[in-house]
Amino acid sequence: MIVVPCPNCGPRNSGDLRNCGELVPRPDPSAASLIEWREYLYMRKNPADWVTETWYCRGGCRRYFTIERNTATNEIRGQEAS
Amino acid sequence: MSNRLTAQPGEIIDRSTSLSFTWNGKAVTGYQGDTIASAIAASGVDVFGRSMKYHRKRGILTADHWDPNLFVQVGDEPNVRAGSRRLEAGMEVSTQNVWPSLEFDLGAANQLVGRFLSSGFYYKTFMRPKFLWPLYQKVLKKFAPGGRIHWETSTHGAYDKRYVHPDVLVAGGGPAGMGAALAAADNGASVLLVEQYGDLGGHLLWGNEDQRAHGADLAASCRAHDNIEVLVDSTVTGRYDHNWISIMQRSHDIAPERLIKARAGVMVVAPGLVERPYVFAGNDTPGVMLSGATRRLINLWAVKPGNRAVVMSANADGDAAVGDLKRVGVEVVAVLDARKGESIVCVAGKSRVSKVVLNDGRTLNADLVVTATGWTAPTSLLNMAGDRPVYDATAARYFSNSLPSNILATGGITGDGSTAELEAHGRATGVLAANRALRRRHDRVAQTARSNDPAWDKPAEMADSRTPLNRVPHPECYRSTTHGMVDFSEDVSSKDLIQASKEGFDSIELMKRYTTVTMGPSQGKLETVNAAAVLAEANQVSMAEIGTTVWRPPFAPITLGALAGRIHEPVRRSALQDWHDAHGAAPLLAGQWVRPDHYGDPMEEADNVRNNVGLIDVTPLGKLDLRGPDVSKLLELVYVNKWSKLDIGRVRYGTMVAEDGVVSDDGVTGRLGEYHWLMTCTSSGAGAVWEMLEDWLQTYRPEWQVHVTAVTGGLTSINVAGPHSRTLLERIVEDVDLSADAFPYFSVRQGTVAGVSDCIIWRIGFTGELSYEVHVPSGHALHVWEELLAQGEDLGCRPFGVEAQRILRLEKGHYIVGQDTDGLSKAPTAGLGGLVKLDKPDTIGLPELKAAYERTDLPILVGVQTDDPEIVPEEAAQIVDGGSNTILGRITSSRMSPTLGRSVCLAQVDPSLAAAGSSITVLLADGRRVTATVQEHHAHVDPEGARQRV
Amino acid sequence: MGKRPPKYSAGALVKHGLTRGDWPRMWRRPEMHDSYDVVVIGGGLHGLATAYYLAENHGITNVAVVDKGYIGGGGSGRNTAIVRSNYLTPEGVAFYDRSLDLYNTMATDLNLNIMFSRRGHLTLAHTDSALRTMHWRAEVNKLQGIDSSVIDPQEVKKQAPSLDVSPNTRYPIMGALYHPPGGIVRHDAVVWGYARGADHHGVHILQETEVLDINVEGGTGPGGKGAGGRVSGVKTSRGDINSPVVVNCTAGWASLISNMAGVPLPITTHPLQAAVTEPCKVFLPTVVVSGSLHVYVSQTDRGELVFGASVDPVGTYRVNGTLEFTEELAGHVLELMPGISKMRLLRQWSGLCDMTPDYSPVMGFTPVEGYLVDVGWGTYGFKAGPVAGETLAETIATGRTADLIAPFGIERFTEGDLVGEKGAAAVGH
């Protein structure tokens, strides 16, 4: 149960939130080719390193926000050590 | 024969309180303060159980929680550690691993063939003939170790959990741990001090008079300190990321075990050291024990461990054991100084040691062999924090390598010292821990946007200037010139380990997996270092090159009951569910909700809707109140169809797809006002749709002004369906004109129902009949429901349940997302042809929608009727290509239709079969193949919709 | 080709017992060569099986299997060792059934007892929609000749008497998909069996050899990597290896390795946790899985209960596990079997799963010539190991994608033809 810093509610147990995975920019749906669209849908960087990801403060203020987390250590940028 | 000594100065037993219990059916008496093992040992018992594989007799080895030989059954509780469990009156204690009895055990025959049962022998045999292996498995299962579940009495009782948020959590209540707790508390930190055994003090408890007095002073200070909470008989079992720490508290009032979850600012790890056995032939014979066991037995419980002792000592603790033995009248026939190379070669004896062979060639008669050959640092909690301890050959044990800033170690795990030195190191650690923890607490409060900033200044960061404890040189004493047990729980000997290494299992992890060394109940506390030493010897490398296995949580086993705690799996109930229960509804668990499946006869209920009027509680329907000027933009985005021109007072059906074009949800949304809409979605999708809307609004179109409020439970939803529904509503709706012209199909009105204002009524038709869905503020729902029934009595108004609704919707051909569609169903499959608008600039999944409509190979949802009207194919029955096994689709929904008197289905079929009139073959569950015909419409009843438009 | 290993048998065991002789090494620690015909990255079940079948079925023996740690140290040794073939999709069924066939004869094929316990596999249904999915699977299974059927609660009770099948629980057991051929296998033994077999064919198993880069030339991506390129070897912690064929069998680390070749993957890495209890006398004869309760459980012949759950919701490369996994697991297991409340959880661990969007693997050729993948196994890797090795070896040897893995090509993610296993996969053990 890691601690995730909600910008509104403060540090919270991760069980109070939902992880929405790595942030992937959405291509313009009216202009994107299918190849581009499916890269957006399926391809992930999945690094063992710092990743920018989205969380949803499900049990609190219901805000979506992004943080940087190191997937090799679970360290969160600006937070305490893992 | 009693082995109980006269009163010992440090004994923790209360001789004025006798406790009666049974040991293998025989009555035994112990004292308050005894462990199960000390009481049994005091009664003169040497043999406590049998080993796992060879069923060798086993006695006390360590006399603490880690003793691998002291697993007993207590009543219906299996695998109780007699070495640490406090004795209670009335306990029924029995041996576990024997058959038929402790004295005569058939499994002991394995000893005779032991030379053939080397580690991994089972991998090398029973390959053929093939039938032999399953037979042998049956034999193996009979010999499974461990206790027994008593199914008649055992159940999940009352358990609870607790959360704590200490600044500093101290794991271990010895001199260093207590020192750390006191110093941290003195420096302003809130402290939780957790001690595994029954009292604070650690090894001081069985020490000399000065040590006991010092320990008692420290313990009293801890208990008296306002900032310290002391938990005894409690074990820190795990350390997880971000210092999330599990503690298993025993002897709690409400349950045998309680799980405590701590978010600690800093954890101070002070578990002391675990004494390790010496490896020699016969080292598992009853009467061979570690110096700590001897000292605990004598000093804590006044139990005489034997009569004639040989002691092999490599350290001061061994020397102290000699003193204890002599003091209580045990004849010490030899003291071997391991520092000078004196050693035991082997011992003889079955139920008890009888002879000891020494490396100077002597053979001595003795019934007790005590070894003090060194320590294992129980680094589990440090491992869990990412530390990989490193072997120090001088001190002959492992030390931590690097720790995150929120973990500090102190005490024996970091080095050696006198009681005063250990306490001093603990205190220095406590000061540092308090500093770090208070800095964290300050950060945490400051980071919370809605809390006031702390009224105190953040302390300056303190450097770690602790003077490390010495590492006192200790001989590397692991194995004698003979082979003996390394893992007592798993019956793995040093010979097994050497053989495994020669076979290629030459790294510690491979060896562990092949031989199962360290995999037993003590999880390596006693075995890991000896195993590494034997492997180093086999590989002819240094211990440092071997490394150790990773110690995994938990530090000590935890009952499933404590982990589960109070099982909290609530069921959602509508405001009307009590009424349903009281009126004979069969409950249906549907996702989070319990719903009325039917009130007796679902076919009759469906029939009543077609002919009169019925009521169904559809509260679980997901409901979202949407307000703001940009709602129509949001609807354009999330639905596949168009929404911009929906007038106030109108409702529309919409389907949602995900970004990959797969159908995700559907429902009806109505416009109540210029800036006010009510969206409905599926019950199971309600939460996901709400979160999805928020996601798009917050992360993609933050400039849109829309406010989303979930009102699923706040509004109770009642569907009034049937030809008499308008008549019924006209009797109780006050301020809405319900006439067909004023309130046409797919419209919404707000009004007063049965005197309840602010109800929302919309006219839609999931059942295919003239029907109105009334959304009532839930506090008044029961009144409206009962009023509808009362006012509609003469109209034949009766409730109907989910099953009748399923029949009605299938007759009408309405599909259910997730039942008639699946994880790959794109919009064309669901037959949404005319609904989907691909000319919008943006909608979720737009490129995939466009691509899907280019394809001709996607399955199509169709109405199907079996050619034999009596046959109702099972839902999930496969549609096959004639007599072959090629799958061309499946029945997704099926029911007998009371309206048509025949079976009706929806099915997903290959596009080649989708044309109306196509004949298909359905394979029934019983193996029959029957023909069926694809229909022109999904709807089997009233495809034109005449009944709902009246 | 090396000489055949000395046979394991009861007779040989007795002989060794009498003479107290040493058994030979199951596999060697060979010197690394500077070139091989095929380099397999990842010394787990998949990598070793691939190497074994390259040698055994196709005579390709100049093969290296490289692993940064020790063999079987990843998912192969961390899974819960359940095998079955009652999948939802026809392509899944065909594939896993072949794997089950290979498991059935593996002990004799590899001359090592992998302790296959064909004890039956129950997937419980707690809702009518779950029951419908079970029926769907059973019907698809039956059409492909798989022994699979839906049974009622009374029959469930017969198969697993310790289960609470009363109707008044929060998650009543409404029935189950029963799959008699399913069971459990000693997972490590499978790894060792393939390693031993491959080694004796001359395959080099290079432990403690970490791949640092994959050499690719002529590609359109940065550094000449990526689509259109051609593989020429790998750079390892112990030096370079030239090879025209490089195979990625690295499961949870698949993305990191594939990036070295410039081939992005539709994968996210999530831990899958498992746990084991202290032993108790054997009471659970079958494998029991509950999708709604996110749990699967079996009891070893030694009496330990082995538990698994669904993958952790937060992607990470951390394998130190979580407390909440054990809490949820215990709660759910006690829903099924309240009687085991006093059993103790002994150890928890976790492995890394390479999750794909459709819960199906990514196998075969890639846009980089000579670079093949066998990844994306998610939680199913152990069940598939033998057939994955067999088909991948065939694909490498023939230069043509084996039929059984044709649905699992990487191109399906650009063509939008995902496999439909996800529906049955929430907890698919």
d(CA C299, CA B141): 10
Identify the bridge partners of residue B14 per DSSP, sorted by sequence position.
Answer: B32
Q: Which residue carries 């349940």 as its tokens?
A: B801
The pair of three-digit structure tokens given for residue B330, joined into one six-digit string: 């045990």
**CA distance from start to end of chain B:** 97
Q: Is the pLDDT of residue B734 over 70?
A: yes
Residue A40 has pLDDT above 90, yes or no: yes
CA B522 to CA B544: how far, in whole Å? 23
The residues, ordered by sequence, that sit 6+ positions from C138 with a Cβ below 8 Å of its Cβ are B876, B925, C86, C148, C149, C150, C177
First to last CA, chain A: 11
> With 80 as the cut, is the pLDDT of residue A76 above it?
yes
B847/A32 Cβ within 8 A: yes
**CA B678 to each of CA B627, B652, B815, C238, C364: distance values in angstroms, whole numbers, following the listed order:** 9, 11, 22, 65, 49
**Residue C32 burial (CB count, 10 A):** 15
Lowest mean pLDDT among B103-107, B160-164, B476-480: B103-107
C264 touching chain A per CB within 8 A: yes
Higher pLDDT, B168 or B110: B168
User: Which positions ≥6 away from B65 have C-beta within 8 Å?
Assistant: B81, B83, B84, B196, B197, B556
Report whether pLDDT(B388) > 50: yes
Contacts of C360 in chain B (CB under 8 A): none
* A3 near B CB under 8 A: yes
> Which pLDDT belongs to residue C426?
38
- Scan residues 453-512 of B and list those with Cβ closer than 8 Å to C: 499, 502-507, 509-510
Helix segments in B659-768, DSSP class H = 686-695, 725-732
**Fold (CATH) for B14-126:** Ubiquitin-like (UB roll) (3.10.20)
| Of B799 and C91, more confident | B799
Q: Is B541 on the interface with C (CB under 8 A)?
A: no
- For residue B326, which of B371, B349, B294, B296 has the smallest C-alpha distance? B294
Mean pLDDT of B770-777: 97
Beta bridge partners of B462: none
How close are the terminal C-alpha atoms of chain C, in Å? 38
Determine phi and psi for B227, rounding to 5 degrees. Answer: -90, 0
Place of tokens 């050497």: B498
Looking at the DSSP bridge assignments, the partners of residue B289 are: B370
Quick check: helix, strand or coil at residue B41?
helix
User: How many beta carbons lie within 10 A of that of residue C20, not counting itself?
Assistant: 10
B794's CB contacts (< 8 A; 6+ apart) are none
Rama region for B74: left / alpha / beta (φ>0; ψ in -120 to 50; rest)? beta
Q: How many CA atoms lie less than 13 Å away from B353 in the CB half-sphere?
A: 32
Measure CB to CB from residue A46 to each of C267, C322, C413 and give the nearest one.
Answer: C267
Are residues A34 and B659, on separate chains, in Cβ contact within 8 Å? Answer: no
Which helix H or strand E contains C234, and what residues bound it? strand C230-236
Please tell me the distance in Å from C424's CA to the nearest CA on chain B. 9
pLDDT per residue as tens digits for the range C289-328 = 998 899 999 999 889 999 999 899 999 999 989 999 999 9
Predicted confidence (pLDDT) at residue C17 exceeds the cutoff of 80? no
Burial C44-76 (b: 16+ CB within 10 A, else e): bbbbbbbbbbbbbeeebbebbbbbbbbbbbbbb
Query: Which pair of tokens denotes residue C207?
Result: 């432990």
The pLDDT assigned to B255 comes to 80
Q: What phi, psi does B482 have (nearest 5°)?
A: -110, 170
Separation between Cα atoms, residue C66 and residue C233, nearest integer Å: 12
Of the candidates B362, B379, B260, the one whose C-alpha atom is nearest the C-alpha of residue B310 is: B362
Among the partner-chain residues C256, C265, C324, the one whose CB lies closest to the CB of A1 is C324
C326 touches chain A (CB under 8 A): no
Q: Annotate B94-142 with DSSP letters as a single string.
A: EE-S-SB-SSSBGGGHHHHTGGG--TTGGGGS--SSTTHHHHHHHHHHH
Task: Give B530's contacts (C-beta < 8 A, 6+ positions apart).
Answer: B276, B277, B279, B478, B479, B486, B494
In angstroms, the Cα distances linking B478 to B278, B380, B416, B529, B632 are 6, 21, 20, 8, 77
Structure tokens at B921: 């073959």
Predicted confidence band at B828 (pLDDT cuts at 50, 70, 90)?
confident
Burial of B734 (0-12, 13-18, 19+ CB in 10 A): exposed
B565 contacts C302? CB cut-off 8 A: no
Q: What is B161-273+379-447's CATH superfamily? A: FAD/NAD(P)-binding domain (3.50.50.60)
Q: Given an 8 Å threshold on Cβ–Cβ distance, is C313 in contact with A19? A: yes
Q: Which two tokens stand for residue B524?
A: 């390596």
Q: Where are the domains of chain B?
A: 14-126, 161-273+379-447, 478-568, 856-950
Per DSSP, helices labelled H in B713-838 are 725-732, 781-791, 802-812
Domain edges within chain A: 3-70
d(CA A71, CA A2): 12
Domain covering A3-70, topology: Folate-binding fold (3.30.2270)
Judged by CB atoms closer than 8 Å, whether chains meet at C111 and B79 is answered as no
Cβ-proximal residues to C224 (8 Å cutoff; 6+ apart), any chain: C216, C217, C218
**d(C-alpha A58, C-alpha A15), whole Å:** 9
Q: Looking at domain C121-182+269-354, does it have CATH number 2.40.170.20?
A: no
Element (H, E) at B663: strand B663-673
Residues 94-113 in B contacting C (C-alpha not used; CB under 8 Å): 113
What is the helix (H) or strand (E) element at residue B560, kind and residue range? helix B560-564
Contacting partners of chain B (3+ CB pairs under 8 A): A, C
Give the long-range contacts of residues B337-341, CB within 8 A, separation 24 or more: B337/B313, B338/B312, B338/B313, B338/B314, B338/B372, B338/B373, B338/B475, B338/B477, B339/B314, B339/B475
Optimal mutation site among C260, C318, C415, interface A, most CBs of chain A within 10 A: C318
- Kindly tell me if the per-residue pLDDT of B233 is higher than 50: yes
> Chain A residues with CB inside 8 Å of C353's CB?
none
> Residue-wise over C227-264: b if at least 16 C-beta within 10 A, else e?
eebebbbbebeeebbebebbbbbbbbbbbbbbbbbbbb
The rounded distance, in Å, linking the Cα atoms of B506 and B527 is: 17
Section A8-27 average pLDDT: 94
Residue B231 has pLDDT above 80, yes or no: yes
Q: Which of B164, B242, B266, B706 to mutate to test the interface with A (most CBs of A within 10 A)?
A: B242
Residue range(s) in chain C whose domain bears CATH number 3.50.50.60:
33-85+87-111+187-266+358-424
- What does the DSSP 8-state code read for residue C22? P
CATH ID of C33-85+87-111+187-266+358-424, from 3.20.20.140, 3.40.50.720, 3.20.19.10, 3.50.50.60: 3.50.50.60
CB-closest option in C266, C317, C414 to A71: C317
Q: Does C363 score more than 70 pLDDT?
A: yes
Q: Which residue in the set C117, C132, C420 is minimally distant from B875, CB to CB?
A: C132
**Neighboring chain B residues of A7 at a CB cutoff of 8 Å:** 449
Looking at this protein, which amino acid is placed at residue A14? S
C198: left (phi over 0), alpha (psi -120 to 50) or beta: alpha
| Cβ atoms of C359 and C272 closer than 8 Å | no
Domain B478-568, CATH number (from 3.30.300.30, 3.10.20.30, 1.10.10.1100, 3.40.50.10070): 1.10.10.1100
* pLDDT range class, residue C331, cuts 50, 70, 90: very high
Q: What is the DSSP string of B904-945?
A: EEEEEE-GGG-STT-EEEEE-TTS-EEEEEE-SSS-SS-TT-
C-alpha pair distances (Å), B580 with each of B197, B601, B795, B798: 53, 14, 20, 12
The whole-angstrom distance between B704's CA and the closest CA on chain A is: 15
Give the pLDDT confidence score for residue B130 in this predicted structure: 73
Distance CA B735, CA B727 (A): 15
In this prediction, residues B832-847 reach a mean pLDDT of 88
Average pLDDT over chain B reads: 94
Residues B422, B179: contact at Cβ < 8 Å? yes
Secondary structure class of B205 (helix, strand, coil): helix
Does residue A41 sit at the B interface (CB-CB below 8 Å)? Answer: yes
Which carries the bigger pLDDT value, residue B34 or residue C90?
A: B34
Asked whether the beta carbons of residue A56 and residue B842 sit closer than 8 angstroms, the reply is no
Asked if B697 and B705 count as a contact pair (C-beta separation under 8 A), the reply is no
Tell me the fold of B856-950.
Elongation Factor Tu (Ef-tu); domain 3 (2.40.30)
Q: At what angle do helices B316-327 and B291-299 cross, to 10 degrees?
A: 40
Of B242, B698, B851, the CB nearest to A3: B242
pLDDT at C428: 46
pLDDT tens digits, B917-944: 999 999 999 999 999 999 999 999 999 9
Confidence of residue B131 (pLDDT cuts 50, 70, 90): confident
Q: Report the pLDDT averaged over residues C262-287.
A: 96
ipTM given for this complex = 0.96
